[in-house]
Amino acid sequence: MPLVNCTRYVWGLARTSRLTTQRAFAKSRTVPYGRHSLWTARHSVHPELSLALRECLEALPKSPSSDYYQPWNALLLLVSASYGAEAIAALPALATTNFPPGATETTTNPAVLIGCVVDSVLAPSPSNASPTTPPTHPPNHRWASSTTIQWTPGVSLLAIQSSQPVVAFRLDDTTTQRRKLKSNAVGRWQPPDRYQQLRRENASIDMSRFTSVARADNLVQLPSELRALPSEEDRSPVFILFSDDEPHQFLDVLNSHFPASMKAGVIGSSTPFINGRPFTLFDRTGLYSSGMCGVAIPKLSSHLTSHVKYEQLVPVGDPLIITRCQGNVILELDGPGSEDLPGLLKRSTQAYESKQIRLYARIHDQNVQSSHYNDDDQSTVYRIVGGDPAKHTMVLDTVEELQPGQDIQIYHDAAGGDLKELPTGPVDPNVPSTTPSSPGLLQFRALDPDTSASVSHTPSMESACSTPALNTGGTAEPSMAPMLFGGASQNGFIWGHRARPIQIPNSQGTLYTKSD
Q: Phi/psi at 253 (nearest 5 deg)?
A: -70, -45
Helices (H), 204-359: 248-257, 272-275, 341-346, 349-353
The angle formed by the CA atoms of residues 470, 471 and 473, to the nearest 5 degrees, is: 145
Strands (E), 416-516: 440-446, 485-489, 493-496, 500-502, 507-513
Which H/E stretch holds residue 50? helix 49-58
Q: CA 114 to CA 103: how far, in whole Å?
A: 21
Q: Which candidate, 100, 79, 98, 96, places its Cα nearest to that of 88?
A: 79
Predicted confidence (pLDDT) at residue 118 exceeds the cutoff of 90:
yes
Residues, the chain: 516
Answer with the residue of higher pLDDT: 250 or 33.
250
pTM above 0.85, yes or no: no
Q: Phi/psi at 157 (nearest 5 deg)?
A: -125, 140
pLDDT at 141 (0 to 100): 38
Mean pLDDT within 168-173: 87
Answer with the residue of higher pLDDT: 416 or 284.
284
Q: CA 179 to CA 290: how far, in whole Å?
A: 12
- Could you read off the pLDDT of 276-318 as tens digits, one per residue? 999 999 998 899 999 999 999 987 766 788 889 998 888 888 8
- Could you read off the pLDDT of 319-371 as tens digits, one per residue? 899 999 998 999 999 877 677 777 777 664 455 665 667 889 999 876 655 55
170 in Cβ contact with 76 (< 8 Å): no
Q: Which residues contact 340 (CB under 8 A, 6 or more apart)?
A: 317
The angle formed by the CA atoms of residues 269, 358 and 336, to the nearest 5 degrees, is: 130
Count CB-CB contacts under 10 A for residue 335.
16
What are 39's strand-pairing partners?
Answer: 8, 160
- Domain boundary assignment for the chain: 1-190+219-311+434-516, 313-413
Mean pLDDT within 174-181: 66
- Could you read off the pLDDT of 422-444 as tens digits, one per residue? 344 444 444 443 445 556 789 99
- Could you read off the pLDDT of 207-238 as tens digits, one per residue? 555 555 555 566 788 888 999 898 887 788 99
- Looking at every residue in the chain, the average pLDDT score rounds to 71
